[in-house]
Amino acid sequence: MFHIDNQHLRLSFSPKTGISVSDKASGAVFTQVPCPYAIHDVTADGQSISYTVHAGGLPIRARLAFAGVREITLDLTAEGPMTGDIAYPPAWQMAEQDVGVYPIGTGFAFPVNNPGLRIPPEMPFFTGSTGLALFGFIRNGQYVFTGIEKGYDAVMKHERKDDGLLHTQVYWRGEKGQFGYPRQCRWFFADSLDDIAAAYRRWRETMGWVRTLKDKIRHTPSVAKLIGAADIWLWDDNNMSRLYGRPESNDITPRDVRRAAGEMLELGMTRVLWQAFEGENAEDCAWLKSRGFLVGKYDIYRDVLPKPIADLVIPYRKKRSVNTRYWPDIVRTDADGSYAKAWAIHGKDGQMHHQHAVCDICALRLTMENVPPDIAAIGYDSRLIDVQAGATLQECYHPLHSQTRSAAQRYINAQLDFLADIGLTVGVEVGSEASSRAFHFSEGLLSSPWYRAPESGRRMNTLYYGDDIPAQIHQYMLNPIYRVPLWDLIYHDCTVSTWYWGDSSNSCPELMPIRDLFNALYGLPPLYSLNMSQWDMLKKDIATSYHRATATARKTALSRMTSFAWLSPDGMIQQTAFANGVTVVANFSDEPYILDDKSVVAPKDYLCQEGQQDTL
C-alpha cells in the first residue's frame, strides 16, 4: 500500500484494491470499485504516486497527486491506438443512503438506491444533456465530486451494480482512434455543494473558461439589454403547419408585431428578448429596438438539405435551406466515408427525410458569410444559433475539413466569438461550459431533454393541460426535490439560462407559477413560446408570470450564486444566495413556511430579501 498525505486528506493506493481517500477531520473513507485492468510499476516519491494501467493492450501511465488542500488529480498519458472506450478510474463505491448529483440540465440530485429513477445510461460531456464535466455524490454531509479537465472525448456512464446502487464512471474515447492528448480527472472533497462549486470554478478560471457577463457586456454592449429580459418567441398561427407540411388555416389571428409588443409594454413587460423564427422586416425591427427590446433571429448551421432530396421535401423546408448550394462540400464525413445524418424533415411523399450534418469548421465560414448581410439589411442585435453548441461533439474525416472533437469545440467557440465581435447578443441551444465563455444566453439548459414532453423540438407552442401534461414534467422537470442549481453555482454570472421553447414557461399554463419559482430561486428569466392566438388568450397570465419570474434575475444576473440550501427535510423549501447580498427562499410546498426572522413565505411563492443590485 502506498500513501501520500496533506493536512486534510490521506490518499492511498494499492495495485489490488485501487484508490482510497480518507478525510482526516471526519474519518470518512472513500473507496473505488474493483479495477478491471492490470496495474504494474507502482512508484511513490512522497508527493505523488505513479503506476501503469494496462487497458485493452494499451499501457497508460497514471499519476496521482494533490492539487489543493482538498483536491486530487489523476493524470493519464499514453501513446497508441484505442480499440474501444477505456473505463478508468473506476467509479467510487456507493453506499445505501448516498445521493448522486448529476450535470443533467442545470443539475439534478437522485438517491442512488432508487431503481425506478429515469436517468440515461450514457451521457457524453458538453452536450444538450450534460453541460458540465462534473458529477459527484453526497454522503453524510460529505461531498465527493469528479471533474474532467477536457471532456471532449469522454462520457459519463451510469450502471447499477450487484448491490442495486447506481454508480457513475468516466469512460475515455479515442481521438480519431488514438489515446491522443493527456487526460485528467480532478476529485474535489468538501463539506457543501457551495464549496465544490467554488473550487471547480477556480479550476476552470485557470483554464480560461470563465468569462463574466460584465466582461461580455463591455465587449458587446447589446448584452446589457439581456439582463432580466424574458425570452419570447411569438409565432405566426400557421407556423407549425408550414414547418410540417400541414394545410394552413385562413381563420387565424394575424401576427401583429407592434400590437403584441405594445401590449407587452402596457402590461409592464419592459425587458424582452424578442425572438423571430421567420425573421422581422427592418421597420418592425427598428420599432422594437426603439422600445428597448433586444431583437433576435433564429439561425442554424448544423443541418443542410442534400441536393438529391431537395425536390422531395415540402417547399417551405427547401426554401429555408439556404446552404444547400454548398452540399456536399460542407458535410461532416464519418470515418467510413459516409455523410453524417442530421435532423429529419417532412417530405411531400409523407415520409421523413434526413438532412446531412454540417462540419463545424464549415459552419464558421457559413456564419461569417450569411449573418452580416442579414444584420445590415434588418438591424437585429441578437442571434440564436440552434443545435451547434448543444449537440454531441463529433469528429469529421473529410479531407478538406478534418476535425477532432476538441477542434469541433474550438470552431464552435470561434463561431460564437465572431457573432459577439460584430455586436450581437449570442444565444445557443442548451450550450455547455466548454462554450460558456463565448455565448451570452442559452435556451433549454433549464429543460433537460430527458424530462421534456415528447417531440418538444417540433412542438414549439403546444400547450398541455390537466391529464395531458406528460408525467415526466411533474416527476422530474418541475420536481423540486430532485433539482439543484449546479450550473448556476458555477456560472450564474457568466451566462443567462432559460427553459426550452417546447418546454416553455407557458407550455403547461397551470404550472407557470411553479416555473416562476424556479426562475426566481435561480435568478433566471422565463421563456415564453406561443402563437398570436395563444398570446391573446394568455397575455394576462404571462404578464403575471413575467413580473414574478424576472424580479430576481434583474437583481442577480451579474452576481455569482454563492449558496444553495435545502431548508426543510423534504426539500420543498429551498434557498439561494448571491454575491451582492440577495437571498431568495422558494416555498414549493402547500403550507406557509416561517423563517428564523419570523418572515412568512406563502405556499407556492418566494421571498426575495434585498441586497445591493449589481451595476456594470
Grade residue 50 by pLDDT with cuts at 50, 70 and 90.
Answer: very high
pLDDT in tens, 230-264: 999 999 999 999 999 999 999 999 999 999 999 99
**Is pLDDT above 90 for 609?**
yes
pLDDT of residue 60: 98
Apex CA 531: angle with CA 249 and CA 443, to 5°? 135
206, 222, 241 - which closes a domain: 206
Q: What is the bridge-based pairing of β-strands 183-190 and 142-148?
A: antiparallel
Q: Which of 548, 535, 534, 469 is nearest to 503 (CA)?
A: 469
Domain with 105, as residue range(s), is 2-206
Output the pLDDT for position 614.
67
pLDDT at 56: 82
Listed residues 206, 239, 259: the one ending a domain: 206
pLDDT at 221 over 80: yes
- Reported as a single tens digit per residue, the pLDDT across 567-604 is 999 999 999 999 999 999 999 999 999 999 999 999 99
* DSSP classification of residue 309: G
Distance between CA atoms of residues 5 and 13, nearest Å: 12
Quick one: which H or E segment has residue 370? Answer: helix 360-378
Q: What's the chain's average pLDDT? A: 97
CATH number at residue 32: 2.70.98.10
Q: Is the pLDDT of residue 40 over 80?
A: yes
Looking at the structure of the chain, the number of domains it has is 2
In a domain, 475, yes or no: no
Which residues make Cβ contacts (< 8 Å) with residue 228, sequence separation at least 6? 271, 525, 550, 551, 553, 554, 555, 557
- Phi and psi at 119, nearest 5°, equal -140, 135
Mean pLDDT, range 337-349, rounded to an integer:
96
Longest C-alpha distance within the chain, in Å? 79
Q: Label residues 230-258 b or e (16+ Cβ within 10 Å = b).
A: bbbbbbbbbbbebbebeeeeeeebebebe
Flag whether pLDDT at 280 surpasses 90. yes
The answer on pLDDT for 223 being more than 90 is yes
Q: Could you give the CA distance from residue 360 to residue 413 in angstroms, rounded to a whole number? A: 10
* Domain-located, residue 382: no
Q: Give the contacts of 87 (CB within 8 A, at least 6 positions apart).
A: 36, 55, 157, 169, 170, 171
**Is residue 517, in this structure, part of any structural domain at all?**
no
Question: Does 22 fall in a domain?
Answer: yes
Model confidence pTM above 0.95? yes
The candidate with the shortest Cα–Cα distance to 167, out of 135, 127, 193, 212, is 135
Of residues 391, 295, 380, 378, the one with CA closest to residue 343: 391
The three cell numbers of residue 558 are 451579474
Residue 72, CA distances (Å) to 27, 89, 147 in order? 18, 13, 10
Q: For 17-34, write each residue's pLDDT tens digit.
A: 999 999 999 999 999 999
Among residues of the chain, what percentage have pLDDT more than 70? 99
Q: Is the pLDDT of residue 167 over 90?
A: yes
In whole angstroms, give the CA distance from residue 154 to residue 261.
45
List, in sequence order, every beta strand (DSSP E) within 389-453: 425-429, 441-443
528: alpha, beta or left? (left if phi > 0; alpha if psi -120 to 50): beta
Residue 543 lies in a domain: no
The one-character DSSP state at 358 is B
User: pLDDT by residue (tens digit) across 454-483?
Assistant: 999 999 999 999 999 999 999 999 999 999
**Angstrom distance (rounded) from CA 287 to CA 291:** 7
**Within-domain flag for 158:** yes
User: How many whole angstroms separate alpha carbon 196 and alpha carbon 490?
Assistant: 9
Residues in the chain: 616
Confidence category of residue 615, pLDDT binned at 50, 70, 90: low
Res. 610 pLDDT band, cuts 50 70 90: confident
| Residue found under cell 472525448 | 153
* pLDDT tens-digit readout, 369-418: 999 999 999 999 999 999 999 999 999 999 999 999 999 999 999 999 99
pLDDT of the residue at 128? 83
Q: Which of 155, 184, 206 is the last residue of a domain?
A: 206
400 domain-assigned:
no
The predicted structure's pLDDT at residue 129: 84
**Which is nearest to 356 in space by CA: 404, 323, 320?**
323
Q: How far apart are CA 488 and CA 259, in angstroms?
A: 35
The answer to whether residue 616 scores a pLDDT higher than 90 is: no
What percent of the chain has pLDDT above 90? 98
- Is the Cβ–Cβ distance between 461 and 530 less than 8 Å? yes
Decide if 58 contacts 82 (C-beta within 8 A). Answer: yes
Q: Which three cell numbers stand for residue 377?
A: 439589411
- Provide the grid cell at 562: 454563492
The stretch 77-104 carries a mean pLDDT of 97
In a domain, 584, yes or no: yes
Neighbours of 104 (CB within 10 A): 26
